[in-house]
Structure 1
Amino acid sequence: MNITLKCAPVEQQSSHCLIVGVFEKRQPGPHAQALDKASGGVLQRILKQGDMDGKPGQTLMLHQLSGIKAERVLLVGCGKASEFDEKQYSKALSNAITAVNDSGARDAACYLTDLEVKDRSKAWNVRRAAELTHQALYRYQQTFSKKEKPDYPLGKLQLCVDDKALKSARIGLKIGEAIGKGASFTRELGNLPGNVCTPTYLANQAGKQLKGYDNMKVRVLNQKSIEELKMGAFLSVAKGSRQPPKLIVIEYQGTQKETRPYALIGKGVTFDAGGISIKPASAMDEMKYDMGGAAGVLGTMQAIGELQPPINVVAIIPACENLPDGNANKPGDVVTSMSGQTIEILNTDAEGRLILCDALTYSERFKPRSVIDTATLTGACIVALGNHPCGLLSNDQPLAEALLAAGQTSQDRAWQLPLWDEYQDQLKSNFADMANIGGREAGTITAACFLSRFTKKLKWAHLDIAGTAWKSGADKGSTGRPVPILTQYLLDQCGKKYQL
């Protein structure tokens, strides 16, 4: 997909398809009005016939309008003009790209990006449009015997803005493209089956996808190296699998080497059967996405490689499988983490925190400015928050607020939960320094409380993406989150350069 910017009056635009907005009560937006004038009032006559009202989700394709150079005009419902915010804009844009792609148009010019969106700039409009275009056009095909190839693929999209916004829109386009590509990489990894996307495959893909960036270095530590680091918690999870664990370490240097980096940690359980505490068979196939945190971190690193911000970033991904086996963890086992703290394993299906705690300890050697771990960690997070925001917990309130702000900007929102000391009591063990679960109550919070015991030297935040990284049902598949919020957070650390 070739996405470009253009500044041209809509009535003079030659394209296979023009995309313009119509608001509720059949009120054409400014670009639809211009087309209506150029066509001698054809658009108004069509709208009066009642084919569309302008409600969100509506689209109407028109062909060969007199006085207009373009072959097609797509009218897109934008809802109430007084309430046209980022939510309605995103819905209109997604519907438009899908409709144009289905129409057979090889190229299109979108004027939705030039509409006034409440509390947003035209540059943000462009950034969001580029991101949503990649999202709408993504198709998983890798494990099909026949690859689906559309007869008339949409290959070119022009995002149109007025000339005053053109300079900042270029930055918006660059950010949107980078996040869109990174999220597509994340989705592809998350959608792959567990027999393809093993820890070794994940490590190989990290090297393959990121090797093109000269200032990005990928190292993969094998089981022997992990043993030498004394990552007893991480290794205990991997014991039940024939697939060897990998510790993937990615370093991006965008500024002076001695500048302290920002650290990202992603949970990389490439298949989670629950271990001895085995999961129910229903929907267990979806546990291939338990490496959503790792995939999200890899997608974010690709976006950072594309954007080249002037910061340093380190990504750490512990990757393994969690399967039942004669050598697997057993309920009641006690393991020793890299930090030296001991853990009683009461439930082997609470394995994500076991691999993350050692990765958090490992991150200390980089002296990071902040550490964010992201993981499909708890079903309790889906119960508490559903599928809309990710859960956020942190030991540093300014870091938490920066992530909340990044979520609002990127529309990849988070919601903060408490990390109070009172919850720590639920992790008491009679046989070790702590248990790996804290009972049914507040499961997302006690999981973060467990991780917090390994972050005493760190400014740390935890993103639980169990409800946001994956969709179940008819649209089953990876979503590409949390690439937008993580990328936005990192860009926000660069000052005004990437602010839209």
Structure 2
Amino acid sequence: MAFQLAPLNDLILNQEIDLLVVSCTLNHFDALDDLYPAATQDMLQMCITDAGFTGKHQQILTIRRPPDSQIKQVLYNGLGASSELNPYSCKQHITKLMPDIKSAKAAHIHWVLPDELVENVRLRQIFVLEILSELYHFDRYKTKGVKPNSPTITFYVAPHLYADNWLDSLVHIQSGLKLSRDLSNQAPNDCTPATFWEKAQDLAQQYPSISAEALFADDLNTLGMGAYYAVGQGSAAPSIMTLMHYQGLPQTASPPVVLVGKGVTFDTGGISIKGADGMENMRYDMCGAAVVLGVMQALAALELPINVIGVAAGVENMPDGKAYRPGDILTSLSGQTIEVMSTDAEGRLVLCDALTYIGRYNPAYVIDIATLTGAAITSLGSVASLLVANDQGLANQLIAAGTETDDKVWQMPLWPEYYSAIDSPFADMQNSGQNSPGAITAGCFLAKFTEQYRWAHLDIAGSAFTYGKGNSATGRPVQMLIQFLQNLAATNQ
């Protein structure tokens, strides 16, 4: 999908146009009056009057082939009063409008945006990225039938709002979102831990600011990453922990921010095997790693002045004669021992060793991103990612970034009273809480491996994908994490 920005005076309405979309606020739908031929303008005004179109929220007016023009279809749509514009109303608007956009099957969409929207930096970003998100489709495996259309979009704005060409940064963010969604939607026989390593090498070739390295299964074992290594023992697809280093500042100038993504490319539950119903959705248990790769691509394209390390902790959790078992005692890289209560609580075993390993980089902040618990879905549904942290300042920065992008996060507590749920009579801890709030006790488990630095955990089990829908991966929270990094980078300038 290609998209670009142009000043409104570049819009030529006497040329052939598949679809002209005019977004307008309440009682302000006259931005193009001087550009239409007289007969076209008279007819459009008559249609607007007859239909009672005023530009109120979610109001849509479709006009096909107006006279004296080569426009096939004009789609007026209302955003409501400018004073009432907000992220939720913008997203509602796009959702309501999108069936009309898709049914037009336009190869090139000319889209006029109102000044009141474009002048609000936050809202215009949410509005444009929501359009592109709705038009996203994944057809990697389709060989027959009509594939969804990927139109070119030109967004037109008033000349004084075009000067800084603000769409450029959204192009880069969109590329990261697309990479994350594409990886997440790949079939599990086509996306293995090796896929993350291959993609990281591609990014390193594309961007001089990125370098890539990997720890392979034997390395994990040799280093003493006993928890991570155990999870992949039953799989024919070898575990690989991929590390990407983005250097936007001199290495000694700023300690890195580290992003660690859970990359379980398929999760059967292992010996504690899941039920068959819905197991196909476990292809999405690698969304955390996909998010990290998407963020790294966008970060390099944006050329932010910040140092970041991205980790894709790749593994596959399968039942096999060599698979780890409930009751096993594992020794983690930190030296702490873990009693396995459930092999379906595997993500935290992978993450705990990855989180210990990255301590060697003396990070400024560490954020892990994982589809970790069903309890996060029970708590928050798909509206927000669940957040726990050992540093309130970091938590506040993530919450603020989520508010700025409408990619919401919601913080849960890590109170001392919760830790007893993972006490073990045989080891230092167990990997699954007993009679406890699962998302919080999963956070308590990870917190035991992150005491040496400022850390936050994002459980994206509810926000990373939508159950039962095609093209299900959302790419969240790529946008929020990029905003967080942009905010940090701004302090380096």
AA aligned opposite 2:389: S
* Kept after mapping to 2: 8 A contact 1:18/1:110: yes
Counterparts of 2:142 and 2:418, CA distance in 1: 47
AA aligned opposite 1:234: Y
Compared with structure 1, are the counterparts of its residues 321 and 19 closer, same or farther at alpha carbon in structure 2 (3 Å cutoff)?
Answer: same
1:232 aligns with 2:226: yes
Who is 1:106 aligned against? 107
Aligned pairs for 1:282-361 within 5 A: 282-361=277-356
Who is 1:73 aligned against? 74
Q: Deviations over 1:157-187 (max 9, x none)?
A: 222222332234x2x3122111211111111
* Kept after mapping to 1: 8 A contact 2:9/2:159: no
* Kept after mapping to 1: 8 A contact 2:19/2:104: no
**1:205: how far off?**
2.4
Who is 1:144 aligned against? 142
Query: Counterpart of 2:424 in 1: which secondary structure?
Result: coil
* Kept after mapping to 1: 8 A contact 2:305/2:492: no
Who is 1:128 aligned against? 126
Who is 2:264 aligned against? 269
Aligned pairs for 1:158-197 within 5 A: 158-168=154-164, 170=165, 172-197=166-191
Counterparts of 2:285 and 2:57, CA distance in 1: 34
Please identify, of 247-256 and 28-37, the stretch whose mean Cα deviation from structure 2 is larger: 28-37
Aligned pairs for 1:424-463 within 5 A: 424-463=419-458
Counterparts of 2:488 and 2:481, CA distance in 1: 11
AA aligned opposite 2:29: G
Counterparts of 1:401 and 1:41, CA distance in 2: 53
Counterparts of 1:260 and 1:147, CA distance in 2: 51
Who is 1:223 aligned against? 217
**1:256: how far off?**
0.2
AA aligned opposite 1:428: D
Instruction: Give the alignment's Cα RMSD to 1 decimal.
Output: 2.6
Who is 1:43 aligned against? 44
* Kept after mapping to 2: 8 A contact 1:199/1:270: yes
Q: Deviations over 1:340-367 (max 9, x none)?
A: 0001111111110000000101111111
* Kept after mapping to 2: 8 A contact 1:23/1:80: yes
Who is 2:377 aligned against? 382
Please identify, of 80-89 and 277-286, the stretch whose mean Cα deviation from structure 2 is larger: 80-89
- Aligned length in residues: 489
Counterparts of 1:100 and 1:476, CA distance in 2: 18
Please identify, of 129-138 and 441-450, the stretch whose mean Cα deviation from structure 2 is larger: 129-138
* Kept after mapping to 2: 8 A contact 1:122/1:165: no
Counterparts of 1:475 and 1:83, CA distance in 2: 33
Who is 1:3 aligned against? 3
Aligned pairs for 1:87-98 within 5 A: 87-93=88-94, 96=97
Aligned with residue 19 of structure 2, among 11, 17, 34: 17
Please identify, of 427-436 and 45-54, the stretch whose mean Cα deviation from structure 2 is larger: 45-54
* Kept after mapping to 1: 8 A contact 2:33/2:41: no
Counterparts of 2:122 and 2:25, CA distance in 1: 21
Please identify, of 99-108 and 231-240, the stretch whose mean Cα deviation from structure 2 is larger: 99-108
Who is 2:84 aligned against? 83
Query: Counterpart of 1:423 in 2: which secondary structure?
Result: helix
1:29 aligns with 2:29: yes
Q: Deviations over 1:245-278 (max 9, x none)?
A: 0010100111102231110000000000111111
Query: Counterpart of 1:348 in 2: which secondary structure?
Result: coil
Who is 1:154 aligned against? 151
**1:226: how far off?**
1.2
Counterparts of 2:234 and 2:44, CA distance in 1: 65
Per the normalisation by structure 2, the TM-score is 0.92
**1:444: how far off?**
0.6
**1:21: how far off?**
2.7
Aligned pairs for 1:193-204 within 5 A: 193-204=187-198
**1:65: how far off?**
2.4
**1:53: how far off?**
7.1
Query: Counterpart of 1:406 in 2: which secondary structure?
Result: helix
Query: Counterpart of 1:218 in 2: which secondary structure?
Result: strand
Compared with structure 1, are the counterparts of its residues 145 and 105 closer, same or farther at alpha carbon in structure 2 (3 Å cutoff)?
Answer: closer
Query: Counterpart of 2:369 in 1: which secondary structure?
Result: strand
Counterparts of 2:197 and 2:147, CA distance in 1: 29
Compared with structure 1, are the counterparts of its residues 280 and 115 closer, same or farther at alpha carbon in structure 2 (3 Å cutoff)?
Answer: farther
Per the normalisation by structure 1, the TM-score is 0.90
* Kept after mapping to 2: 8 A contact 1:10/1:31: no
Counterparts of 2:173 and 2:100, CA distance in 1: 22
Stretches of structure 2 lacking an aligned partner (at least 5 in a row): none
Counterparts of 1:53 and 1:465, CA distance in 2: 40
Counterparts of 2:429 and 2:331, CA distance in 1: 11
Counterparts of 1:439 and 1:167, CA distance in 2: 58
* Kept after mapping to 2: 8 A contact 1:230/1:338: yes
